[in-house]
């Protein structure tokens, strides 16, 4: 697999949310706003990058029998660091994301990439894998949150994470016709189902078109 393929893998072919269906807990819980989604995406990506690099660096000296506990200790330390940084510099976002920041420790995307990729590959490949998976996760939660916020409130608002009172971007399309249930937990499942349905339909369309091209 080329370096570019490793990077692109997490974005499209093995997107952690839309293809592998991993990390669904946070993906459904925090996607009420685009601001929350971007904040969680950056946090998960930062932990992924650091954990992949560290685990790749120590993979040859960690006994196989205790590798999983070692990975969890590394990930937990990184998550705590990210949690403290967010609490210090983005307190409003930290409060909004709540318990789902420390729960990054048990996010199966991070532990899964540590076990399946970083523990078997070199530093640079592990870095590319982490960036690809992190961007794929961020892309997925931003798409879900944008859909939920747009349908649930009629518009999308993006706040500055360093200053919650500063609005970076905002627009309203159909506020009077918004479906507020999309901002509820049930709306998260419905939104995900609709998005997955569109993606699967597109994949089937491409596959069918490729088969017809081969027949011709």
Q: How many CA atoms lie within 13 A of 91 on its CB side?
A: 2
Helix-helix angle 34-58:67-89, to 10 degrees? 140
Is position 150 within any domain?
no
Report the pLDDT value the prediction gives residue 12, as an integer from 0 to 100: 84
Residue-level pLDDT, tens digit, the chain, 216 residues: 788 888 888 888 889 999 888 888 888 889 999 999 999 999 999 999 999 999 999 999 999 889 999 999 999 999 999 999 999 999 988 998 988 898 888 888 999 999 999 999 999 999 999 999 999 999 999 999 999 999 999 899 888 887 777 888 888 888 778 888 898 988 999 999 999 999 999 989 888 888 877 776
Furthest-apart CA atoms within the chain: distance in Å: 62
Is position 151 within any domain?
no
Report the pLDDT value the prediction gives residue 216, as an integer from 0 to 100: 64
Is position 120 within any domain?
yes
Domain that holds residue 27: 3-142
Report the pLDDT value the prediction gives residue 123, as an integer from 0 to 100: 93
Report the pLDDT value the prediction gives residue 51, as an integer from 0 to 100: 95
Is position 111 within any domain?
yes
Is position 106 within any domain?
yes
Domain count, the chain: 1
Q: What are phi and psi of 158, to 5 degrees?
A: -115, 120
Is position 213 within any domain?
no
Residues near 213 by beta carbon (within 8 Å), at least 6 away in sequence: none
pTM value is 0.91
Is position 188 within any domain?
no
């Amino acid at each position: 697999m080329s370096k570019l393929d490793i990077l692109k893998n997490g974005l499209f072919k093995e997107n952690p949310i839309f293809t592998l269906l991993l990390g669904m807990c946070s993906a459904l819980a925090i996607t009420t706003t685009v601001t929350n989604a971007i904040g969680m995406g950056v946090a998960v990506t930062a932990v992924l990058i650091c954990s992949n690099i560290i685990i790749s660096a120590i993979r040859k000296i960690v006994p196989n029998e205790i590798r999983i506990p070692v990975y969890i200790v590394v990930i937990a330390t990184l998550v705590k660091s990210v949690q403290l940084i967010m609490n210090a510099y983005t307190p409003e976002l930290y409060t909004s994301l709540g318990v789902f920041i420390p729960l990054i420790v048990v996010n199966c995307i991070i532990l899964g990439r540590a076990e399946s990729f970083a523990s078997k590959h070199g530093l640079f490949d592990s870095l590319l894998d982490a960036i690809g998976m992190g961007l794929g996760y961020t892309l997925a939660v931003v798409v879900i949150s944008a859909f939920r916020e747009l349908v649930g409130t009629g518009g999308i608002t993006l706040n500055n994470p360093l200053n919650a009172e500063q609005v970076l971007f905002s627009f309203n399309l159909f506020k009077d016709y918004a479906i507020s249930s999309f901002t509820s937990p049930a709306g998260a499942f419905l939104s995900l189902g609709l998005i997955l349905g569109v993606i699967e339909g597109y994949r089937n369309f491409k596959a069918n078109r490729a088969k017809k091209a081969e027949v011709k």
